[in-house]
Structure 1
């Protein structure tokens, strides 16, 4: 087994949170090495603008690793889940394929136990994260409009909002009729040229990669600067387990390189940024005589309380051409009308609505599991074809409550291509979420009808919606009931940090990327500021 020279900090994963860690720490003088099992994606690799782009999105650029099956992917057994886990392995992680929604959590999200008597309060607050939200919003080049009355602070944006288009204007008029909140959606997509990124060209294919760099994926926003600051990025490096010393400190990680060689990267501090499935998989696969239940798992909560944000949608079909087939696929509008708890609705918490475009021929002619594909052919095909430009989606991000039976475990019968045991996802949509979905489906239908829709197509649960993988290594103040502290440091292993969505205490009801990155920046800045007090293995 070959060993790379020691690093001050080893980062596992080059996605949203790992990118933040690499740039922050390398800029502060740390010797940083990041192991990423995927590779760089070049702009011309993305199918946008090519005739076959929708076909490529169904396979090579599918959001699910189980469908994509690239060399860098690992299988996730999702047979026991109505939600398919979605992720991307590569430099930039899932920001390569995300739609770019850039939404802050709300103050209530951090005080759910106090306010609503469920779940737990976070060990930090909105105010603790606010300066990091502000910094990242301007660093990422987010397009948005200040003054959303749903927030207590009038946070600003470096770029004006993306045009909401005719379909956004029609939807806004519908919301106005009902007296409901709406706001131009903030997106990490450049409405004007920003730094080294061009303005959005409206390909409408954000979820299969942005060929112009208008979308703020962290390969553009962070990694070039991190490497210039001295960070070493090793691609094609699949981490198999963490290594520990006799003092219970992590000494680095073993990984398999693209030639099949077993290697070891030594480091004084190790930071996990492998998402809500990859991180518990690695911790559980790192079981040893010292920690038979997995690394950093004295609480027994590693892999537990998985939250996935079930997505429900209502498509509205309109008589007029609304131009809804034009990009970007980031949200044109968002609504927080039904975000806060109202117990008269029969559930607690709520969700964020987003109005999305509906580009592409194939998207209008796909069928759902359980339907006969022949029902989309013949006259039905021509009917669906006529919907292009007249078809818009109100979708809702449902706040998922943490439940211990929703979990990520190691599947002893399935391995990845390097023989490393794969994860299994066990997930059930809870009763509170079910009630919430039903309620929001009714309200979104009302919104479409108020806007003039002539027909509705509701989808109670979108299976391919598991982007938001949260809660499987939660933060907290008590080591008995949490895995890491408020600065993402392991209670059990003082030189181990977890900075991805695993640390979420509750799921919030908004897209989590902004919060994941804000938590990561706060944690890594605290690490850097307290370098002299940090325990290391060297």
Structure 2
């Protein structure tokens, strides 16, 4: 298919979800993915191969803001980063769509309200077979329907942890997860967080949305298709894309879903005489407002008590998300990490293997996550082929306060040793914001349906459009926005 009705660049959560909603239209849809499908291998459940050797990481380097090279944690494969994600499919809270004050500054809110996206959240939860419950978390926004499946069950030691946390005054709740736990464990006794999904046990972009789209004969996926640039006509329409080694592909509608960094890179590299600063960039906002959650790993340890959990990641709490009754500003979300094992801990520290195993066998592992605020000087740029990511971290004071409160509760819950370690500044913890959504074309890149202000036949449907990072995992919100964009395309572009 060298000419299609729609070309979608990228097969991650955004691109695959858009393909799924457009597929029943009968229009010819071509999905271009630079990576290949993951296939089962002996490394899939090998922590040394994954965490120490970086077996699945791409062979590329970016520059940080000081010009130092680093290896990014992005993955290029069918399904994108979702093949390795923790499958936490959490809705943004209703408050995240409103302007509000944080310790580090003002969050601008969204040009749409939560209520305008709720039906798409509901549809995304159905598409990704999300397992959860709406009654446990007091910050849970209104749902128009229940989850189709009950939560993934706590393992015995996590059930005991839940009770311990409740006794400290917290309100732990179940993480909404896209996981078929029986299928996952049948292929290996490990957590799923950061492990590649080659067994279909995680509900990722390939396993769910893309598989549904490809049931339709009008949808084609091409792998190994690295898009080099977008082509525009004199009238300002995006007329096609150049693919390395395959020539030019044309379509009347283009959807970009390569991720917050790579989508920006494509737009900037596509600069031409009519668009000298890059496509969709009359506002000079492409690449700006990069956000990356402020995150720390927190390990709660009792020397005489083992944690026998295999997967662990079923519990979270949001008592400090909106700071209700705490006399402080919003702090963020706490959720369990996938169970850290000795090899994982050894690969991330300088600890000898036996010591790392001793600690990991007795640790309960938490993921503390706080909002990063948009900053126009926090940005992605490209010089030639070199990507530069200059992240201006913000709101760190709130994150430190969140970690301090978590440590206090964990000690009250009976853990005499509590250790924390922030994630490196260069770790991609939910990258977003580089092609922000907004109503004002002078201050944003896309409108509220993810359509480019500058090129009416260009849509962007990945994390780059998020106006704020909030403080929960973005995957479900990306899927909901892609469903919203897809409905808009059908109503406005396919109606004739």
TM-score by length of 1: 0.85
Structure 1: state its 5+ residue gaps: 413-420
Q: Does 1:232 align with 2:220?
A: yes
Structure 1 residue 5: Cα displacement: 3.1
Pairing 1:289–2:270 present: no
Q: 1:389 aligns with which of 325, 349, 361?
A: 361
Match of 1:110 among 97, 106, 116: 97
Q: Deviation of residue 248 (structure 1)?
A: 0.6
Separation in structure 1 between the aligned mates of residue 78 and residue 49 of structure 2, nearest angstrom: 23
Find out whether 1:30 has 2:27 as its counterpart: yes
| Equivalent in 6, 9, 19 of residue 6 of structure 2 | 9
* Structure 1 residues 501 and 168, CA gap change in structure 2 (3 angstroms): same
Q: Which moved more, 1:487-496 or 1:151-160?
A: 151-160
Deviation at 1:367, TM superposition (A): 4.5
The 8 Å contact of residues 302 and 472 in structure 1, kept in 2 or not, is answered as yes
Q: Distance in 1 between matches of 2:424 and 2:156?
A: 26
Query: For residues 417-459 of structure 1, what are the alpha-carbon distances to aligned partners after superposition, in whole Å with 9 as ceiling and x for unaligned?
Result: xxxx2321001222xx210121011111112212211212111
1:244-278 alpha-carbon deviations (Å, 9 max, x no partner): 1110100010010xxxx251110101000011001
* Residue number among 148, 153, 158 corresponding to 2:148 in the alignment: 158
Instruction: State the alpha-carbon separation in 2 of the partners of residues 115 and 385 from structure 1.
Output: 38
- 1:341 Cα deviation after fit: 4.9
**Partner residue, 2:391:** 427
Structure 2 counterparts to residues 348-497 of structure 1, below 5 A: 348-368=329-349, 373=350, 376-377=351-352, 381-412=353-384, 421-430=385-394, 433-463=395-425, 465-497=427-459
- CA separation of 1:199 and 1:485: change in aligned 2, threshold 3 A: farther
Instruction: Give the whole-Å Cα distance in 1 for the aligned partners of 2:480 and 2:270.
Output: 28
Partner of 2:108: 120
Partner of 1:339: 321
> What is the alpha-carbon distance in structure 2 between the residues aligned to residue 115 and residue 128 of structure 1?
24
Post-superposition CA distance 1:334-354 (Å, at most 9, x none): 1111111579866x4331110
User: Matched residue of 1:104: which SS?
Assistant: coil
- Comparing 477-486 with 144-153, greater Cα deviation is found at 144-153
Alpha-carbon distance between aligned partners in 1 of 2:428 and 2:327, rounded to the nearest angstrom:
26
2:64 corresponds to which residue?
78
Equivalent-residue separation in structure 2 for 1:119 and 1:290 (angstroms): 34
Return the alpha-carbon distance in structure 1 between the equivalents of residues 196 and 370 of structure 2: 25
Q: CA deviation at 1:212?
A: 2.5
Shift of 1:508: 0.9
CA contact (8 A) 1:313 1:441 kept: no
In 2: Cα distance, 1:502 partner to 1:109 partner: 17
**Cα distance change on mapping 1:467 and 1:505 into 2, 3 Å:** same
Contact 1:80–1:425 (8 Å) recurs in 2: no
Equivalent pair of 1:143/1:191 in contact (CA under 8 Å): no
Closer, same or farther: CA 40–48 of 1 in aligned 2, 3 Å: closer
Distance in structure 2 (CA, Å) of the matches to 1:429 and 1:511: 18
2:77 alignment counterpart: 90
Separation (CA, whole Å) in 2 of partners of 1:203 and 1:445: 26
Q: 1:382 to 1:454 in 2, by over 3 A?
A: farther
Cα deviation for residue 228 of structure 1 reads 2.2
* 1:189 Cα deviation after fit: 0.7
Question: Which residue in the other structure is 1:417 paired with?
Answer: none
1:367–1:87: structure 2 CA closer, same or farther, 3 Å change rule? Answer: closer
Question: What is the TM-score normalised by the length of structure 2?
Answer: 0.92
Is the aligned partner of 1:271 residue 2:255? yes
Q: Could you tell me whether the CA contact under 8 Å between 1:11 and 1:272 is conserved in 2?
A: yes
Q: Residues 62 and 386 of structure 2 are in contact (CA less than 8 Å); yes or no, is this contact kept in structure 1?
A: yes
SS at match of 1:22: helix
What is the rounded CA distance, in whole Å, between the counterparts of 2:67 and 2:449 in structure 1? 31
Q: From the superposition, tell whether residues 79 and 122 of structure 1 become closer, same or farther in structure 2 (CA, over 3 Å).
A: closer
Q: Deviations over 1:273-301 (max 9, x none)?
A: 01100111000001000000100100000
Q: Distance in 1 between matches of 2:27 and 2:186?
A: 34
Structure 1 residue aligned with 2:41: 45
SS in structure 1 at match of 2:242: strand
Q: Would you say 1:184 and 2:166 are equivalent positions?
A: no
Match of 2:117 among 119, 126, 129: 129
Map 1:239-254 onto structure 2 (within 5 A).
Answer: 239-254=227-242
Question: For residues 115 and 529 of structure 1, do their structure 2 counterparts lie closer, same or farther at Cα, with a shift above 3 Å needed?
Answer: farther
Gapped regions of structure 2 (runs ≥ 5): none
122-131 or 274-283, which moves further after superposition? 122-131
